[in-house]
Amino acid sequence: MSATEEKEQAVSGQAEQGKEGGEQAAGRAEIKPTSTLSRAKLLKFLVLPLLVFGAGFVVNLFIGWVIFPRLLYSEKDQPIDFSHKIHVEAVEEGCESCHFFGEDGTFSGVPGAEKCAECHEERIGIHPEEAKLVEEYILPGKEIPWHIYARQPNCVYFSHAAHIKMAKLECVTCHGPVGESIHVKRYQQNRITGYSRDIWGWRISGIKTNSWDRMKMDDCADCHKKSGARNDCFVCHK
């Protein structure tokens, strides 16, 4: 608004000056048409383009930030709405009851159905999700096809032992507060690469406020650089 108004004032001011100097009739005649012309010009060359640009900007922003991610990622439901909160209280050894190290140093990852069967061999509560667990997986002896949020591409080698036993890092640093979750998070998969959305991060703007917001190559390498760990290609690739 302000730019247009200022221009208008300036133009009318010029016109008044012309009136005062009576003998400059010719000048006045020249000024008048210019002032109407400039108003039309203003509309044509400034306001309209600005409006068009603004509209285009908003549309493209909408496409880029709202529509594109929906096209790029497909959303999948976890098979069971698992609550970490209930279970961390129910088990005896905390996280290690389910996520532990094997004798050869490998990390167990997400526990298999036989772990759940230790308590859920038959229904112990009235929760419909528990009914699903028992009827669809435990009784028929099937594995639960969990989607792994943190799953890295095939070419990446990761070692929990190095980070937990050696670097003494907390799970939260890389995974966020999954250990306190009441419901499972949304899981989204990149339609092109098949990678979990957690790798490249949920924020389209790419701004990272928590250490677990994304886990791309640079995020691993940044921490390695800061903590003095190695950054040769073969550290993290196989």
Partner 1 sequence: MKDIHSEQKTYKFGMVIDLDKCTGCGACMVACMAENNVSFRADETDKLRSITWMRVYKMTNGLPFPDTEVCYIPRPCMHCEGSGHHRPAPCIAVCPATATDRDHETGIVSQIYTRCFGCRYCMAACPYHARYFNWWDPKWPKGMEKYLNPDVSPRMRGVVEKCSFCYHRFQRAKNKAYAEGRREIREDEYQTACAQACPAGAITFGDLNNPQHAVYKLKNSPNAFRILEKLGTNPKVYYLSTKEWVRRGVDHYLEEEAQD
Residue ranges that bind partner 1, judged by CB under 8 A: 101, 104-106, 153-155, 157, 159, 161-162, 165-167, 226-230, 232-235, 237-238
Contact partner at residue 2 from partner 1, ligand HEC, none, CB < 5 to 8 Å by partner kind: none
Give the long-range contacts of residues 176-182, CB within 8 A, separation 24 or more.
Answer: 176/210, 176/212, 178/84, 178/149, 179/84, 179/88, 179/95, 180/84, 180/85, 180/88, 181/83, 181/84, 181/85, 182/83, 182/84, 182/85, 182/86
Contacting ligand HEC within 64-93 (CB under 6 A):
80-84, 86-88, 90-91
By CB under 6 A, the count of residues binding ligand HEC is 72
Minimum distance of partner 1 from residue 109's CB (angstroms): 12
Assign 88 to helix, strand or coil. helix
CB of 173 to partner 1, least distance (A): 14
For position 131 contacting ligand HEC by CB under 6 A, the verdict is no
Identify which of residues 6 and 77 has a Cβ nearer to ligand HEC in the complex: 77
Mapped onto helix, strand or coil, the DSSP state of residue 160 is: helix
Q: With respect to ligand HEC, which residue has the nearer C-beta, 72 or 178?
A: 178
Tokens 């250990």 belong to residue: 179
